């Protein structure tokens, strides 16, 4: 193998390692203002002191069913009796009122609300199915939490303990749902004020508008300026057939006030954010449930992800918990937007909140993100408009990318062809300096030959490095593209998941329990491409380890890609096939005798050292001097 390819692979490896370290999240150590910290401690302490009677036993006594005036909604009412904690005295009726579930439907989702707490009960996406062919359900109806702690009547209460009276209105295609929990005078039963929660559901969007405000805040003892504590939690429900892969891609992400988007590691983790946060997302492989603070920021947040036991037979992936604090003023409502829908780049990008960065497209390394953002995604979306099978779209995308890379590929081949034309001279140098102690002399002689022939040894490296961001960009794009989800091609029933032509019935370490044909074809084509390249490239007989590594890499890739997206393996297979055809075509049309004649002609011309060659010679001389000193 020639020196330029060795340098190229070393640089590629260094870039890959550097990229991995660059993506590793670091701990952010920013301090909050002392006043807010003191207020939070007071809120938490008073909360513990005042709500100790909450969540007592529930005794169901009757059930009833009612219907709202809207013909698209159905309401179920379940009566319940509770003993009333002292803190909820003025909200007695709201504490004891009948519970109900309200169903709302727009063009993209079926949404239901609990009147207890005025929270989302379920969100079912009409256009997406889970692995059991049921509508994707992103909220766990039994264990979802979305509750504020607020101060009223010199007590701390939680919205999750109040039953809200609902009202529904349709206007201009949008649906407005308003929930009110009234506080009443204990003697006259007169309404003093209350808590109002409003939802606005657009006709054709996954984004829901949420507002919380207080009615007559002065009358119910709500402070003009205060800090609200907010708790939010959900059991993330399995949507994909491969639960292990989906769990790895299930985590919490957020954007801080500097517009930097961060992801928690794909493991059980607890992290405190002592700085302002614009939005927080509970994301899965292809879907997300994201909370956005519209007019302000969350003052701080406590994030926690916890996996369920491997022996757990439920469809739960992870328990996501978020505790937040919000600086609140009674002159304006708490204003959120809640996105519960697909991780589709075009949709998330349209909100201009960097929500698209929930999709792992290599945002931590700018060249990779640019390739995906400005090249791969636009071309992919353009091809998608023609209604082609996604396997055909990937084929066309591969051909277009190879056409774009053709000048760089040709330059790499010509650099290799020039070195191959000098093979007789290189063989003589290798024979003359065959001893290990002559390595520096051999290097100097080789550099002198390249200089005399006017060959840049790094000429084939830079085109190879320019292709590297595209290869990694595709590695990030295909496993994250929701467009490929549940889309079949040939024997693969889902291009977003691994294809299987044979279930082994047992697990092979570092490989898996099935055989992916696309991964196998990718590995075979990589071996073939490596073999052809080695035949066409002058090899260094003193570097057998490098040759072994080149042939070992496809075997390693086979173990990795066997459990990856079949679209990714299919793309790399096509990339290898086209690369082989290009190499053979170049080999057929390029006259290497003319190349050698031109190189020999260069020997007659005066040699002008480039700055790069001068630096390399100085480095070689310095190394030789150091060896002599030893």
Tell me: do 261 and 407 sit in the same domain: no
Specify the pLDDT at position 288.
96
When pLDDT is cut at 50, 70 and 90, the band that residue 176 belongs to is: very high
Three-state SS annotation for 267-284: CCEEEEECCCEEEEEEEC
Q: How far apart are CA 416 and CA 533, in angstroms?
A: 9
Specify the pLDDT at position 355.
96
pLDDT at 37 over 70: no
Three-state SS annotation for 16-72: HHHHHHHHCCCCCCCCCCHHHHHHHHHHHHHHHHHCCCCCCCCEEEEEEEECCCCCC
Candidates 399, 347, 337, 349; CA nearest to 373 is 349
Specify the pLDDT at position 84.
72
Tell me: do 441 and 500 sit in the same domain: yes
State the average pLDDT over residues 613-622: 65
Tell me: do 198 and 240 sit in the same domain: no
Of 308, 341, 359, the last residue of a domain is 359
Tell me: do 506 and 471 sit in the same domain: yes
pLDDT for 160-172, tens place per residue? 989 999 999 998 8
pLDDT for 307-330, tens place per residue? 887 666 778 889 999 999 888 888
Q: How far apart are CA 339 and CA 352, in angstroms?
A: 13
CA dihedral in degrees (545, 550, 556, 560; nearest 10)? Answer: 140
Tokens read off for 311: 């022996």
Tell me: do 193 and 296 sit in the same domain: no
User: Structural domain of residue 562, as residue ranges?
Assistant: 3-15+369-617
Tell me: do 411 and 443 sit in the same domain: yes
Tell me: do 455 and 527 sit in the same domain: yes
31 lies in some domain: no
Greater pLDDT, 137 or 64: 137
The rounded mean pLDDT for the chain is 80
Which DSSP letter does residue 135 get? E
pLDDT at 93 over 70: yes
pLDDT for 355-389, tens place per residue? 999 999 988 888 888 999 998 999 999 998 998 99
Tell me: do 84 and 7 sit in the same domain: no
User: Among the listed ranges 242-251, 523-532, 613-622, which one has the minimum average pLDDT value?
Assistant: 613-622
**Number of structural domains in the chain:** 3
State the average pLDDT over residues 478-497: 92
Which DSSP letter does residue 156 get? E
Compute how many other C-beta atoms are within 10 angstroms of the C-beta atom of residue 264. Answer: 19
pLDDT at 419 over 90: no
pLDDT at 16 over 80: no
When pLDDT is cut at 50, 70 and 90, the band that residue 469 belongs to is: confident
Which residues lie across from 228 on neighbouring strands? 326
Specify the pLDDT at position 173.
85
Tell me: do 310 and 380 sit in the same domain: no
pLDDT for 330-357, tens place per residue? 889 999 999 999 999 999 999 999 999 9
Of 307, 341, 359, the last residue of a domain is 359
pLDDT at 92 over 80: no
Tell me: do 243 and 209 sit in the same domain: no
449 to each of 425, 432, 446, 453, 472, how far by Cα in Å?
A: 8, 14, 5, 6, 35
Q: How far apart are CA 325 and CA 79, in angstroms?
A: 33
Q: pLDDT > 90: what percent of the chain? A: 39
23 lies in some domain: no
628 lies in some domain: no
Task: Check if the beta carbon of residue 318 is closer than 8 Å to that of residue 306.
Answer: yes
Specify the pLDDT at position 286.
95
pLDDT for 582-605, tens place per residue? 989 998 888 877 877 877 776 666
Tell me: do 605 and 458 sit in the same domain: yes
Tokens read off for 517: 């044909």
Specify the pLDDT at position 392.
95
Specify the pLDDT at position 62.
28
Greater pLDDT, 235 or 548: 235
Distance of CA 526 to the CA centre of its chain: 28
Tokens read off for 93: 């009726």
pLDDT at 544 over 70: no
43 lies in some domain: no
State the average pLDDT over residues 11-33: 49
Greater pLDDT, 620 or 306: 306
pLDDT for 68-91, tens place per residue? 333 334 333 333 444 777 677 778
Candidates 97, 103, 254, 269; CA nearest to 175 is 103
State the average pLDDT over residues 96-125: 89
DSSP class per residue in 221-273: T--SEEEEEEEEEEEEEP-SS-HHHHHHT-EEEEEETT--EEE--SSSEEEEE
pLDDT at 136 over 50: yes
Which residues lie across from 183 on neighbouring strands? 193
Q: How far apart are CA 452 and CA 52, in angstroms?
A: 87
410 to each of 29, 404, 416, how far by Cα in Å?
A: 49, 11, 10
36 lies in some domain: no
195 lies in some domain: yes
Tell me: do 325 and 394 sit in the same domain: no
State the average pLDDT over residues 138-152: 90
Q: How far apart are CA 360 and CA 482, in angstroms?
A: 12
pLDDT at 1 over 60: no
Of 359, 394, 409, the last residue of a domain is 359
pLDDT at 175 over 50: yes
State the average pLDDT over residues 422-448: 76
Specify the pLDDT at position 610.
58
pLDDT at 510 over 60: yes
């Amino acid at each position: 193998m020639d020196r330029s390819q060795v340098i190229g692979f070393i640089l590629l490896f260094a870039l890959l390692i550097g990229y991995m370290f660059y993506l590793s999240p670091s701990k952010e150590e920013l301090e909050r203002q002392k006043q807010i910290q003191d207020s939070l401690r007071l809120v938490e302490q008073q909360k513990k002191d005042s709500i100790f009677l909450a969540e007592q036993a529930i005794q169901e006594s009757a059930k009833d069913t009612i219907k709202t005036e809207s013909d698209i909604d159905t309401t179920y009412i379940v009566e319940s009796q509770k003993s009333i904690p002292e803190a909820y005295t003025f909200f007695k009726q709201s504490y004891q009122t009948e519970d109900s579930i309200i169903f709302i439907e727009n063009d993209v989702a079926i949404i239901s609300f609990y009147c207890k707490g005025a929270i989302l009960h379920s969100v079912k996406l009409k256009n997406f199915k889970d692995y059991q062919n049921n509508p994707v359900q992103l909220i766990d109806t039994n264990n979802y939490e979305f509750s504020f702690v607020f101060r009223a009547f010199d007590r701390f209460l939680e919205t999750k303990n109040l039953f809200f009276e609902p009202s529904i209105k349709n206007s201009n295609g949008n649906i407005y749902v308003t929930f009110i929990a009234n506080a009443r005078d204990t003697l006259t039963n007169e309404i003093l004020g209350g808590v109002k929660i409003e939802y606005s559901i657009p006709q054709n969007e996954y984004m829901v508008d949420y507002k919380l405000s207080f009615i007559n805040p002065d009358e119910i003892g709500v402070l003009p300026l205060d800090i609200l504590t907010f708790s939010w939690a959900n059991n993330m429900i399995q949507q994909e057939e491969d639960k292990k892969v989906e769990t790895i891609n299930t985590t919490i992400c957020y954007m801080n006030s500097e517009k930097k988007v961060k992801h928690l590691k794909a493991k059980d983790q607890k992290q405190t954010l002592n700085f302002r946060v614009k939005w927080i997302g509970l994301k899965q492989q292809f879907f997300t449930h994201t909370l956005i603070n519209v007019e302000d920021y969350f003052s701080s947040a406590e994030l926690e992800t916890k996996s369920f036991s491997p022996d757990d037979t439920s469809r739960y992936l992870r328990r996501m918990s978020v505790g937040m604090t919000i600086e609140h003023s009674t002159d304006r409502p708490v204003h959120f937007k809640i996105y519960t829908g697909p991780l589709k780049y075009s949709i998330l990008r349209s909100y201009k909140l960097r929500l698209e960065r929930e999709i792992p497209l290599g945002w931590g390394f700018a060249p990779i993100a640019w390739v995906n953002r400005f090249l791969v995604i636009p071309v992919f979306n353009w091809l998608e408009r023609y209604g082609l099978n996604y396997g055909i779209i990937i084929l066309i995308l591969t051909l277009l990318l190879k056409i774009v890379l053709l000048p760089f590929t040709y330059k790499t081949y010509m650099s290799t062809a020039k070195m191959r034309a000098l093979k007789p001279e290189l063989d003589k140098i290798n024979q003359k300096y065959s001893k290990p102690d002559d390595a520096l002399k051999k290097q100097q002689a080789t550099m002198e030959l390249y200089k005399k022939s006017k060959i840049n040894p790094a000429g084939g490296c830079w085109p190879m490095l320019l292709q590297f961001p595209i290869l990694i960009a595709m590695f990030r794009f295909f496993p994250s593209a929701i467009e490929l989800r549940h889309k079949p091609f040939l024997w693969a029933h889902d291009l977003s998941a691994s294809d299987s032509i044979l279930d082994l019935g047992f697990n092979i370490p570092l490989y898996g329990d099935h055989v992916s044909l696309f991964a196998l074809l990718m590995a075979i084509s990589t071996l073939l491409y490596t073999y052809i390249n080695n035949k066409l490239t002058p090899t260094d007989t003193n570097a057998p380890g490098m040759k072994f590594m080149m042939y070992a890499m496809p075997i390693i890739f086979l173990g990795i890609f066997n459990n990856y997206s079949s679209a990714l393996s299919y793309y790399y297979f096509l990339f290898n096939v086209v690369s082989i055809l290009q190499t053979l075509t170049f080999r057929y049309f390029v006259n290497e005798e003319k190349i050698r004649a031109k190189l020999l002609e260069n020997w007659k011309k005066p040699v002008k050292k480039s700055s790069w060659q001068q630096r390399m010679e100085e480095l070689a001389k310095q190394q030789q001097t150091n060896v002599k000193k030893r």
